[in-house]
Amino acid sequence: MGTLIFLIMMSLIAGILTGIVGMASLTLYPVLLSVGIAPITANATITVAQVGGGLGTVLSSLPELKHHWRLALKIALLNTAGGVLGALILIHSSNAGFQKVVPIFILLAGILILTPRPIAKSTTENNPWWNRLRWMAVFLVGIYSGYFGAAAGLLMIAVLSQLVHEDYAIYNSMRNFATFTNNVVSASLFAWQLTIAWQVIIPLLIGLFVGGYLGPVIVRYIPSRFIKTTVGIFALILAVVLGYQAYF
């Protein structure tokens, strides 16, 4: 019973963080390892459970998505295509050595998030190479999300903060939708090809769905600039902590 409550509470926290910035994998990965689930199984199980959490975040994000479905669908399709490739890489992997580059990715994400968007948007919008690079980044984050996923939300927020010229709540809702579609496809592949810890799926689903619904609601009542700055600073601190753990 204690383990069940622990999993639900941690999933609730992970769900709220997912709705705000996308931190479910980073939060739940060490939790599942602590209850005796093997690394790759834990990673695959979290992806399957995040389908429930993603449903909650998408439902809660509908008001922000209302007038931005065309761009949201384009982002989701490209990100999910990358997710398929990442999931296939994981299915044929035998270790989690890729974790050593996670701190580097998070550091770059923090820098991008804290980098102000150009006031003159036309400078970058009219640069085809810069636009291609940003869209390629959406695909690459999708690959990473399908493979490991820890802090993929931070990376996606960093990319969308440069790609979408809207408030945080808007591009966060696009990230929520893209993450959901990515997880649906990746989870289907994992359930077919990998071992899933089905015994923990229900408590994870409960916590992630409820928390995932609450996250976007919280975002609506917090100033966009404050959230973006807080997330960026958190990413830099997290990069230092994970970098220390990975290399020292």
Structure tokens at 185: 């496809």
pLDDT at 136: 94
pLDDT at 81: 96
Q: With b meaning 16 or more CB within 10 Å and e meaning fewer, what string describes 84-103? A: bebbbebbeeeebebeeebb
Interatomic CA distance for residues 53 and 207, integer angstroms: 8
Question: What's the whole-model pTM score?
Answer: 0.81
- CA 226 to chain CA centroid, Å, is 20
pLDDT at 126: 61
Residue bearing tokens 């701190």:
103
Are the beta carbons of 15 and 215 closer than 8 angstroms?
Answer: yes
pLDDT at 100: 72
Helix (H) or strand (E) holding 75: helix 69-91
pLDDT at 68: 93
Roughly how many angstroms between the first and final C-alpha of the chain, as a whole number?
Answer: 36
pLDDT at 222: 85
Distances (CA, A) of 149 to 46, 66, 90, 188: 9, 27, 11, 16
Q: CB-side exposure of 144: number of CA atoms within 13 Å?
A: 22
Q: How large is the C-alpha radius of gyration of the chain?
A: 17
pLDDT at 80: 95
Name the residue ranges covered by the structural domains of the chain: 2-247
pLDDT at 125: 55
For the chain, list residues with pLDDT below 50. 120
Interatomic CA distance for residues 187 and 202, integer angstroms: 15
pLDDT at 246: 75
Interatomic CA distance for residues 210 and 122, integer angstroms: 40
pLDDT at 214: 92
Q: In degrees rounded to 5, what are phi and psi of residue 117?
A: -70, 145
pLDDT at 98: 55
pLDDT digits (tens, 9 = 90+) for 67-98: 899 999 999 999 999 999 988 887 876 555 55
One-letter amino acid of 111: I
